[in-house]
Structure 1
Amino acid sequence: MQSYWRLHRYPILFAFVSILFYIAFAYDLVRTDYIKLFMLFGALFYLCTKIIQFEKWNFKFLFVSGILFRLLFLVAVPNLSQDFYRFIWDGELIKNGINPYLFTPDQILEKGEIIIANMEELRNGMSDLNARHYSNYPPVNQLFFAFAALMGGGSVFGSMLVMRLLIVLADIGIVYWGQKLLQNLNLSSHMVFWYFLNPLVIIELTGNLHFEGVMLFFFVAAMYVISKNRWIWATPLYAASIMIKLVPVLFLPMFLKYFGFKKSALFYILVGVFSLVLLLPFYASVFIDNFSETVGLWFSNFEFNASIYNVVKKIAVTYYEAKPWELIKSYGSLIAKLAIGIFLLLALLRKNNTLQASITSMVLALTLYYFMSSTVHPWYVVFLLGISIFTNYRFPLVWSFAVILSYYAYSNPDYKESLPLLAIEYILVMGYFIYEILSNAPKKLYFFKK
């Protein structure tokens, strides 16, 4: 025991201090206190880097630390996001045999015909914006909500606890399959802990109950099965990943050169079939209209933590007297088309003949999309970080720290952002992104190849 302490005393001390900071974050922080939030997050990120540097080959130490940090949030109420109230609301509807895509919370309350457990508490907890719109969470995500509501026994706390345990289990699965995938790609297996111990991941997923990690679990499992040349068996896993958060559907073109035309076509067909099977229990005549209406809001109404969009908006409003509410609708429509173009270009122009090269194209494409997007919530960066560990790019790790600057908006009742802080965030991220592109391209041939 004494010899273990002598060998590992610094990482043990770092882990102990992290425990104290995570407890403070989970139980003694309100999101309006930005200075405290920034200092805790910054300290936790520094401690995370030191723990991994000291113990990167000590799987047991890193794994136990990651589990312990997560368990500290077990009974904490999310303090940076209200989304979990809507998750539980949708789950309670399904538990009562009601399709969550057919009614908004406000419509249900106005009719007064449907009664679900804790409906007043759930409606008061979620934002007014959320309550006015139809659910935009895909079918598999809804099944997790329903499971949490069922196992939670009608209690908000019980449902919250079940969701938290599901998210922790997904992160454990990412460590398991992620290490196997890293080994198959001839990469260092300890890289998975840059995800597993990352404060952004722990706080936004386990702490605030976002399901990006569950989406990533199915995605990583699918990539591992593909790496074992059993790509047909990967299709239901890939479909499940799509049906949690939709993002992986954008990556389908990246497999075209890796699989070849015939295999790609069959892969797409099977993923589509499994996706439809998962969708069928929720299908109704108005499903597509309601779901697409809500998803479309992300392109035409919302803005948060944007980079290029803020520059465009500043120029358009200042010099061309553009109306912001009209600008974002036009911009959103344009960006949706540009994003599709970027994903197709990277699929066709890059030499995606290996799985790692294909995943690298996914990282680059999703990054460029986020740079252009008008809305980049902090938890969006989690998935980008998760897939980047299977490449040689590290700028998403920088982003997982720099995104803390966007949390400043939470300190204001009207969510007013600080453009100088956002400028610092994106200068750091884009600067490191450009540095890695320029330094990696000549020697590793990771960008466009002929």
Structure 2
Amino acid sequence: MLLNPTFLKLNKAPLLLALASLVFYWAFAYNLVRTDYIKLITLYVALFVLFYNITKHLKHNSKALTYLAFAFRAIFILAIPNLSQDFYRFIWDGRMILEGFNPYLYTVTSFINNGELPVAQAQELHEGMGALNASHYTNYPPINQLCFAIAALFANKSIMGAVITMRLLIVLADFGTLYFGKRLLEKLKIPSYNIFWYILNPFIIIELTGNLHFEGVMIFFLIWSLYLLYLGKWQWAAVVLALSVSVKLIPLLFLPLFFQWFVNRNVTTIVNRENLSAQKKEVTLLVTPYKNRKHGFVKLMVFYTLTIVTTLLLFAPFYTTEFIHNYSNTVALWFQNFEFNASIYYIAREIGYWFRGYNEIAIIGKIIPVVVICVTLIITFYRKNNTMVELITAMLFVLSFYYFTTTTVHPWYVATLLILSVFTKYKFPLVWSCVIILSYLAYVNLNKADKSENLWIIALEYLIVYGMFFWEVCIKKAPRTLEA
């Protein structure tokens, strides 16, 4: 039925685009080595151009876009990730749990150096994850660990089996994001096809489904939580937000931003449900937020308590004094030891070189969290954040500032910015999802002995991103939503 001549004639362009995408995704999944930089960039750019045109052609056919999203992900089902080694550590942690070990208390190296092989394929997993990952304690929160344990449960002696299991979990999360994301967009009177700028984006398909990064699971819980919050089910929203935090810690950064939603809430949606007259609406809007401020503050405190207590309960099975020490030190490493694909931090680092002659990451790394917290509080109290779109926009700004200033920005981090942007008027995360591929070229140097990042490539990436950011925020009067 779908392949009748009339259908083919009317949909010739999108069908050709989809077929080309299938071929390029297959080449990316099964016929690409990370160090083949020309092929990497060519395939990625081609896929991005195809994605943009497919989304424009079929933006009013969500069923077709959904089928394509599934088909593109299905191509990766038997592929071993080729741009990241992290999945080897995921498999190790999951198998450790299944063997009765607390994964937060041991490094991989501590076993290997003693000649111990606590899990199946231990030596292969150790070699695959690399020395850096193996020498540090795990930093993945408990719901993330649960995903690893599920993979171990279904494939305790097969790396490929574990990869397939984790991939299916991430794909399920993506379609959960599609489900709740579309409904939230509809509630907000924003075109529901905006969600496909996330779901169909080759960056999301490659980094999450392909390379097995669990930002997709964190994002699923985050969008579900925001949807519940919009419906007024704020207690459940708090619990689901805790699940998001328990996959990746990033949503903790958003907690202060809920202040105005509860305390200075604009009650337009409540008034509309009551079908009051226009005149009474206006009076209610002027009076209700101030009348209910105290009640809203109490609800805010309960919301925070539910989120924090649920998060702590999820961590509780792993709790020991050693766990607190190991986990806090591992998280601190991201601020004080690791450097990758940064922007403002690299400028501060160069200034440190000029004045002191050495890298001051230990000092700058301690300052960055303080500055991010201060900016978050400023946006919390001095920016209007009491509607859902304003709240999500505030989240986008806070997280963008954090990534602009932090010491490490791995490509998959941008996924959270991208999903937030589909509910706003800003497109710079979409642009970033395209140019982030340049970060994989960071270690391309003319001098092969030089293992440092190529700052010219990093500069090109951020020149494009900051250019788009400042154009949208400071110059352009952008339309209300992210549309083609």
* Match 1:302 to one of 322, 325, 338: 338
Partner of 2:468: 432
Report the TM-score, using the length of structure 1 for normalisation.
Answer: 0.95
Matched, 1:328 2:361: yes
Shift of 1:112: 4.2
Matched, 1:50 2:53: yes
Shift of 1:410: 5.5
CA distance in 1, matches of 2:466, 2:161: 41
CA distance in 2, matches of 1:195, 1:443: 18
Partner of 1:344: 377
Shift of 1:411: 5.1
Shift of 1:3: 1.1
CA distance in 1, matches of 2:139, 2:207: 19
Contact 1:34 1:410 in 2 (8 A): no
* Match 2:13 to one of 10, 26, 33: 10
Shift of 1:154: 2.1
CA distance in 2, matches of 1:54, 1:267: 42
Secondary structure of the corresponding residue to residue 176 of structure 1: helix
Runs of 4+ in 1 over 4 A off after TM superposition: 410-415, 439-444
Task: Spell out, residue by residue over 1:25-57, the C-alpha distance to the aligned partner (whole angstroms, 9 max, x if none).
Answer: 111111111111011101100100000000001
Secondary structure of the corresponding residue to residue 66 of structure 1: helix
Q: Equivalent pairs: percent with the same residue?
A: 49
Matched, 1:358 2:391: yes
Task: Spell out, residue by residue over 1:150-200, the C-alpha distance to the aligned partner (whole angstroms, 9 max, x if none).
Answer: 111321111111000100111011111100011111111000000011111
CA distance in 1, matches of 2:44, 2:403: 22
CA distance in 2, matches of 1:74, 1:442: 39
**Aligned positions, number:** 441
Partner of 1:35: 38
Partner of 1:170: 173
Secondary structure of the corresponding residue to residue 113 of structure 2: helix
Amino acid at match of 2:414: V
CA distance in 1, matches of 2:171, 2:406: 29
Contact 1:360 1:391 in 2 (8 A): yes
Unaligned runs of 5+ in 2: 264-296
CA distance in 2, matches of 1:345, 1:288: 30
CA distance in 1, matches of 2:443, 2:169: 27
Bigger-Rg structure (1/2): 2
Shift of 1:417: 2.1
Matched, 1:97 2:100: yes
Secondary structure of the corresponding residue to residue 363 of structure 2: helix
CA distance in 2, matches of 1:14, 1:352: 40
* Match 2:112 to one of 92, 109, 112: 109
Shift of 1:109: 2.1
Question: RMSD of aligned C-alpha atoms?
Answer: 1.5
* Match 1:416 to one of 448, 452, 462: 452
CA distance in 2, matches of 1:8, 1:113: 59
Partner of 1:447: none
* Match 2:440 to one of 386, 390, 407: 407
Matched, 1:83 2:116: no
Amino acid at match of 2:81: P
Amino acid at match of 2:176: G
* Match 1:229 to one of 215, 218, 232: 232
Task: Spell out, residue by residue over 1:245-292, the C-alpha distance to the aligned partner (whole angstroms, 9 max, x if none).
Answer: 100011001100111122211100000111111111111121111001
* Match 1:183 to one of 157, 170, 186: 186
Shift of 1:316: 2.7
CA distance in 2, matches of 1:188, 1:415: 46
Report the TM-score, using the length of structure 2 for normalisation.
Answer: 0.89
* Match 2:121 to one of 118, 122, 145: 118
* Match 1:311 to one of 342, 347, 354: 347
Contact 2:32 2:82 in 1 (8 A): yes
Partner of 2:149: 146
